[in-house]
Amino acid sequence: MAQKPSRKSPTRPSRARHRTLAVYVLNGPNLNLLGVREPEVYGRMTLAEIGQAVTARARTHGLEVIFRQSNHEGELIDWLQEARTQSCGVILNAGALTHTSVAIYDAVRALDRPLIEVHLSNPYAREPFRHHSYVSPVASGVICGLRDTGYLLAVDALADLLKDQTA
């Protein structure tokens, strides 16, 4: 019996293989509380509003965004590992884990993608325990103290780094 011709053309690669990988924007512990408390430190925007603004900004660069928050170190590490193959780059606000987590440091080291570290506040103008970051030495760049604007600048910076990569 004659075989039904396959709709897949062997010469045309599937769309899935050629889809643009997303920017992962990962947020750590307590950042789900944004907009609810301490607006004088972190600004008035909620994390959901920042997510919307970041997604819109990324779209102007032709980039998609996966925006997530977790209060759990292990979940953030799982997402950083996922980002090794599923993202074109990462924007990370690891919250207080920035100052404590060797495991986050190891996961970022293993990433093999550009990563921008972001903080809403300026940790260097705050308590001494916030002055050390485990992320900064393995980040492509660091933006802090500019509140939600920092996330948008991180999108622009990442888009620039990605352009340089493909140039």
In the chain, the largest separation of any two C-alpha atoms, in whole Å, equals 77
CB atoms within 10 A of CB 126: 13
Q: Which is nearer to ligand CA2, 87 or 134 (CB)?
A: 134
Closest CA to 147 of 22, 36, 80, 47: 47
Find the catalytic residue in 42, 105, 134, 151: 42
Find the catalytic residue in 18, 61, 99, 119: 119
18-77: which residues touch ligand CA2 (CB under 6 A)? 30-31, 33-34, 37-38, 42
The CB-of-10 to ligand CA2 minimum distance in angstroms stands at: 49
Catalytic residue list contains 134: no
**In the set 21, 22, 53, 96, which binds ligand CA2 (CB under 6 A)?**
96
**In the set 93, 116, 143, 151, which binds ligand CA2 (CB under 6 A)?**
93
Three-state DSSP at 121 gives coil
Q: Which is nearer to ligand CA2, 21 or 32 (CB)?
A: 32
Are 117 and 108 a contacting pair, CB within 8 Å?
A: no
Q: Which is nearer to ligand CA2, 32 or 64 (CB)?
A: 32
Catalytic residue list contains 119: yes
119 scored as a contact of ligand CA2 (CB under 6 A)? yes
Write the CA distances from 163 to 17, 28, 140, integer angstroms. Answer: 20, 28, 14
Residue 155: burial class (beta carbons within 10 Å; 0-12, 13-18, 19+): buried
Active site residues per annotation: 42, 119
